[in-house]
Amino acid sequence: MNALLLVLALAAAPPAEPAPPPLTLEQALEMARSNPQIAQAQGGVVQAQGQVGVARSGFLPFATATGKAGGTATALGASPSSALYATYGATVTLNQTVWDFGRTLGAYLAARDQERAALAGVDVAWQGVELAVRTGYYTVLATEALVTVADQTVDSNQKQLDLARGLFEVGQRPKFDVTTADVNYQQSRISQIQAHDLVVLSRIALSQSVGQDVSRRPLVMPVVPQDIDLDVQRLMSEAVAARPDLRSVDLQLLAADEALSANKSAWYPILGASANYTWNDSRLPVVGGLPASDANSWQILGTITWPFLSGGADLGRVQAQTGVVASTRAARESLLLQMRTDVEQAVAGVNEARARRDVSRTLVGQAKENLELAQGRYQAGLGTIIDVTTSQTSYTSAQAQEVKALFDLASAWAQLQHAIGR
């Protein structure tokens, strides 16, 4: 009967939710392609493309068409009365700039290079997202590894507490040992809770970087390169050739120079051509032997326009654009300095994390051996609970340092990749 009830209960229970598939770093990066920051940068590209279209229009003819329809009141002979007659007309005008001494060309080139700078800005946005995803991914793995350390510490302290209680009950150890072991156990429980909370927070940050909820998917430890070329000069040369933010600034500087040339062209005349066709049809009566008024005319003209007096506006625009050029050039120099700082700091971070990793591995082995010795001496009645506590604390700290060093090295490698524009 009990077996039958158990079978019915299992049949009525809802099916277990399948475990989510593992998430590799490459998959997380692919998912991050839809991050809103990328879409925002792509919107800037669309805006820049629209400005290119506006600037290109200066090379093409400009045409207007107007029409008219209405009534005309006309006196009939010597009579004081008048009659209303229909009047129609249309005019088509075509204007083409032939040469403006670089106004249109400079504006078009500046807009085109701004478009290219916006495209480079998409790469800049992606590199920022990529770095955030990589470091967020490594942070989740590090916090999960620290949870394992915290769980092991809780388990070890629980066993030590059970041992202290057993020895106290048979009169071999004082109550102080039980209390001390219990304090150590409770403190490790607090560290365990905090470690689990850090995992939750780090997964929230990773989901934000990816742009999708990945809080429940298990992560896979990626392979971190071990043989890393850390020659700063070579890495700096690679950064200058590959960094999209430097490419964007270079294009912005080129666009600013071209806009300055276009503004200087405002002091010269504009040569153009104009064509005009006019049609009129007025339904007037025959007066004095003359027919209704109909007129068709056309003309083709060469034009020269010279805006030689603008109240200083042209000079002001040149001065303002000169400041833009100087500011952009200074921004480029500042970026070069920042790039060298980024490369040097990333190299230093890789070296430091790699050295800490090697030392922490040795430290973990020594701390584990000391803990085992202290526990053995305590169980044999030769050591104190203080020795065990100190050894356990050292071992836990060494494990945490090893975990931190391992993932700091991975994050430092990601920072170096970002610094050189890979």
Structure tokens at 308: 């030689």
Residue 201 has pLDDT above 90, yes or no: yes
- Between CA 43 and CA 71 the distance in angstroms is 51
Virtual torsion, Cα 144, 148, 153, 159, nearest 10 deg: 150
- Between CA 89 and CA 92 the distance in angstroms is 11
pLDDT band at residue 289 under the 50/70/90 scheme:
very low
Structure tokens at 14: 């809802």
- Between CA 377 and CA 117 the distance in angstroms is 69
Most confident of 3-7, 198-202, 287-291, 386-390: 198-202
- Between CA 220 and CA 200 the distance in angstroms is 17
List of residues 6+ apart from 119 with CB closer than 8 A: 45
pLDDT band at residue 246 under the 50/70/90 scheme:
very high
How close are the terminal C-alpha atoms of the chain, in Å?
A: 67
* 331: nearest Cα among 228, 246, 224, 254: 246
Residue 204 has what pLDDT?
94
Residue 302 has pLDDT above 90, yes or no: no
Q: What is the mean pLDDT of the chain?
A: 84
Structure tokens at 57: 């229009």
Mean local confidence (pLDDT), 289-297: 60
Residue 45 has what pLDDT?
92
Residue 337 has what pLDDT?
94
- 96-116: burial string, b at 16+ Cβ within 10 Å, e else: ebeebbbbbbbbbbbbbbbbb
Percent of the chain with pLDDT over 90: 27
Percent of the chain with pLDDT over 70: 89
Residue 165 has what pLDDT?
85
User: Which residues, in sequence order, are bridge partners of residue 299?
Assistant: 276
* 160: nearest Cα among 372, 18, 5, 355: 372
Mean local confidence (pLDDT), 348-357: 89
CB atoms within 10 A of CB 221: 15
Residue 190 has what pLDDT?
92
Least confident stretch, 231-240, 247-256, 398-407: 398-407
- Between CA 29 and CA 52 the distance in angstroms is 32
Per-domain residue ranges for the chain? 22-60+101-268+313-419, 62-99+270-305
Residue 397 has what pLDDT?
85
Residue 379 has what pLDDT?
80
Orientation angle between helical segments 244-264 and 313-379, nearest 10 degrees: 170
Virtual torsion, Cα 145, 348, 26, 134, nearest 10 deg: 60
Mean local confidence (pLDDT), 169-195: 86
* 299: nearest Cα among 62, 94, 99: 94
In this structure, what are the phi and psi dihedrals at residue 74, rounded to the nearest 5 degrees? -130, 135
What Cα–Cα distance (Å) separates residue 130 from each residue in 30, 110, 348?
9, 30, 21
Residue 205 has pLDDT above 90, yes or no: yes
* 397: nearest Cα among 361, 355, 364, 362: 364
- Between CA 171 and CA 274 the distance in angstroms is 114
pLDDT digits (tens, 9 = 90+) for 73-91: 665 555 555 666 677 888 8
Indicate the length of the chain as a whole number.
422
pLDDT band at residue 285 under the 50/70/90 scheme:
low
Residue 230 has pLDDT above 70, yes or no: yes
pLDDT band at residue 293 under the 50/70/90 scheme:
low
* CATH fold group of domain 22-60+101-268+313-419: Outer membrane efflux proteins (OEP) (1.20.1600)
pLDDT band at residue 409 under the 50/70/90 scheme:
confident
